[in-house]
Amino acid sequence: MKPSYLDSLERIKEEHSEMSKHLSQQKSELEKINMEKENMTRSFMTYAEVSSTMRADLKRAEEMNKRLQDFIMQTLSPLLSPEHQASCLAALESFKSASSPRENGNGAALPPGFPPVAAGMLGMFPNMPFGMNPAMSQLFNQFAQGNGADAVAGSSGGSEAKKPKLEEPDDGELEIDVTNDDNPTTANGATHKNGRDSTNSVASSGASTPSIASNSAKGRQQQPPGNLQSLEQMSFLAGLNPNMLRQAGGFNLFNDPHTSARLAAAMNQMGGRPAYSFKIVDNGIPTPTTFPPDAQKGPGIPTGLKKRMELNHGEVVCAATIARDNTRVYTGGKGCVKVWDITESDLTSTSTVSRPCIATLECLKDNYIRSCKLFQDGKTLLIGGEASTVALWDLTTQMKTLDLETESQACYALALSPDEKLLFACLADGNILIYDIHNKEKVCTLPGHQDGASCLDLSNDGTKLWSGGLDNSVRCWDMSQRVELAKYDFNSQVFSLGCCPDDEWVAVGMENNNVEVLSTSGKEKYQLTQHESCVLSLKFAHSGKFFISTGKDNALNAWRTPYGASLFQLKENTSVLSCDISFDDSLIVTGSGEKKATLYSIDY
């Protein structure tokens, strides 16, 4: 009996249904395969990145190992008696031979391809994940014992040397707080909260008597230490960046006061000095900077400061600027900018003067002022801060002439074009706003800093804009095309930035306590490590011969451009949040958490 048409149709439907199920299963399997492929690709990229990072770290470790071995042979070995020198050499040979096995001192297997020299390096760093090499431990115990019973007896009765205090890493949150140095900070002493800065509390971060330490005319190189009980002071002899040793952990050698005293005497005999300036070139390895003979002397090179005037603002001073003719100072606090009269007669006195303000500009609705930018004629002032608007004030009438809406929660820095027709605003959302003041219209927005832009400055010729951000980067923008020209990545958030007037150098203040000076035409840069906490503000002198930086460590440091020879250091009572240098490079003003600004005259 022939199958009917309906039976054939039903069979075709069943076959189509089976084929559809089979196709659906294949699609599902294909999706799973694609997901596995994506996961494998992601894992491969992660492993490749980790591998690249490890290779770079191992290369640095090999270089550090070589320097430390040279340091041991050239500096420490001559301090020991002949019998201890023999033990030292034997321990060093044991260390070299122990570097080659593929296991560490605890018997844990090392990764395949781990270089023998780097394996030996693990013994020097107890905090590293592969344990301690016993030969290196023995070697450093030899140094800790010194020349015999006198050192052993001294170490048994004396107290252990204090280890350097290390600050806890910041968590990226931003809020002005100089009450406790362990609190996270960012630009101008602030703490980041959801992309916005807020200034909740400001007090002392550790009072200290104001003082100025000026380098003597004889000490043209980096200055000698008083003792060798800190890793920073030891690092110069080995030719190492102190931050590298700070991350690696302490050595038993540094905990013995007798050994430290012997090393101090030896270093003074050798003319050694602790390094705070490091030059970095193509290989990325910091080397101590050798300063020229005239690094700290010559025309236009300052030798110190004299305090001339205290300006009691009444609130934390997050912004301060000096008028071009040196007759006014403008300080920004909470909800207002105050104007101060600083006449020449006040600056001739040898005593400190305290003066009341002559005007108050109420602005930003009780929010903190973060930036004040004065026009060259001294008649117009730009004001930005923890508000969505940037204000333009006529100082002659003391009236606000413009309220610019930025569409962001805060503006942390301002800049003006050389012709003063364009303003540049550094915003909390990571954008750089360019606004035409003359035509009162927005020109464009430069995006880039993902976690918020914190600082900016314009080159002297106005052709390039430099910006820094909480995404650990500094960017250079071409102002003719308004496009990004270059990006510089760091291992720390960027809090402050300044362009040298000759447009050859850009100085960057970091959350990790460093100041980095970048060459605008090459790969050369300098790393300055004298601050003890984050660097909150930075300003070049108009001569370009020096620049100053201030930080949460209560310090104001003056540096020679570009290599960072220390010219002088001043300590205030609280965090120094802002600074400015007068147009003729004769005055410096600072704003601090002590709710005041301080005016200094520069000595040459």
> Residue 585, Cβ neighbours under 10 Å: how many?
18
pLDDT band at 586 (very low <50, low <70, confident <90, very high): very high
Parallel, antiparallel or unpaired: strands 389-394 and 328-332: unpaired
> Residue 117, Cβ neighbours under 10 Å: how many?
18
> Residue 598, Cβ neighbours under 10 Å: how many?
26
From the list 357, 404, 355, 399, the residue with the least C-alpha distance to 379 is 399
Q: Which two tokens stand for residue 213?
A: 């330490």
Range with the poorest average pLDDT among 263-272, 309-318, 327-336, 569-578: 263-272
Q: Which two tokens stand for residue 412?
A: 């942390």
Per residue in 486-534, pLDDT (tens digit) is: 999 998 999 999 999 999 999 999 999 999 999 998 888 999 999 999 9
DSSP secondary-structure letter at 472? S
Per residue in 237-249, pLDDT (tens digit) is: 444 444 444 444 4
From first CA to last CA, the distance across the chain in angstroms is: 119
Mark 219-231 as b/e (b = at least 16 C-beta within 10 Å).
ebbbeebeebbbb
pLDDT band at 2 (very low <50, low <70, confident <90, very high): low
d(CA 130, CA 153): 33
Q: What's the whole-number mean pLDDT along residues 537-559?
A: 96
Can you name the residues that pair with 407 across neighbouring β-strands?
Answer: none
Q: What's the whole-number mean pLDDT along residues 60-81?
A: 76
User: Cβ(435)–Cβ(429) under 8 Å?
Assistant: no
Q: How many residues does the chain have?
A: 604
Q: For the full predicted model, state whether its pTM sits above 0.85.
A: no
Can you name the residues that pair with 427 across neighbouring β-strands?
Answer: 411
Range with the poorest average pLDDT among 49-58, 168-177, 429-438: 168-177
The residue written with tokens 């570009």 in the block is: 562
- Place domain 304-603 in its CATH homologous superfamily: YVTN repeat-like/Quinoprotein amine dehydrogenase (2.130.10.10)
pLDDT band at 413 (very low <50, low <70, confident <90, very high): very high
Q: Which two tokens stand for residue 286?
A: 């910091």
Q: By percentage, how much of the chain surpasses pLDDT 70? A: 68
Rg value, the chain, Cα = 30
User: What is residue 84's three-state secondary structure?
Assistant: helix
Tell me how far CA of residue 107 lies from CA of 112, 137, 317, in angstroms.
15, 15, 57
Mark 53-66 as b/e (b = at least 16 C-beta within 10 Å).
eeeeebebbbebbe
Range with the poorest average pLDDT among 48-62, 289-303, 414-428: 48-62
H or E element: which one contains 556? strand 555-560
The residue written with tokens 């090179």 in the block is: 301
From the list 537, 440, 421, the residue with the least C-alpha distance to 479 is 421
d(CA 375, CA 333): 20
Higher per-residue pLDDT: 349 or 547: 547
User: What is residue 553's three-state secondary structure?
Assistant: coil
Mean pLDDT of the chain: 75
d(CA 497, CA 520): 13
Residues 6+ away with beta carbon under 8 Å from 581: 322, 539, 540, 541, 542, 548, 587, 588
How is 262-303 classified by DSSP, letter by letter? HHHHHHHHHT-----EEEE-TT---EEPPPPTTTT-STT---
User: Cβ(507)–Cβ(516) under 8 Å?
Assistant: yes
- Is the pLDDT score of 295 beyond 70? yes
Q: What's the whole-number mean pLDDT along residues 145-160?
A: 36
Give residue 579's pLDDT. Answer: 95
> Residue 413, Cβ neighbours under 10 Å: how many?
25
> Residue 344, Cβ neighbours under 10 Å: how many?
8
pLDDT band at 281 (very low <50, low <70, confident <90, very high): confident
Residue 12 has φ and ψ, to the nearest 5°, of -65, -40
Strand spans (E) along 344-493: 353-354, 359-362, 369-374, 380-385, 389-394, 399-405, 411-416, 422-427, 432-436, 441-446, 453-458, 464-469, 473-478, 483-489
pLDDT band at 215 (very low <50, low <70, confident <90, very high): very low
From the list 523, 535, 538, 552, the residue with the least C-alpha distance to 581 is 538
Q: What's the whole-number mean pLDDT along residues 88-109?
A: 58
> Residue 217, Cβ neighbours under 10 Å: how many?
9
Nearest-5° Cα angle at 581, 580 to 583:
130
Provide the residue ranges of all domains of the chain, joining segments of one domain with +.
304-603
Q: Which two tokens stand for residue 360?
A: 């108050």
Residue type, 122: L
For 202, counting Cβ atoms within 10 Å of its Cβ (0-12 exposed, 13-18 middle, 19+ buried), the class is buried
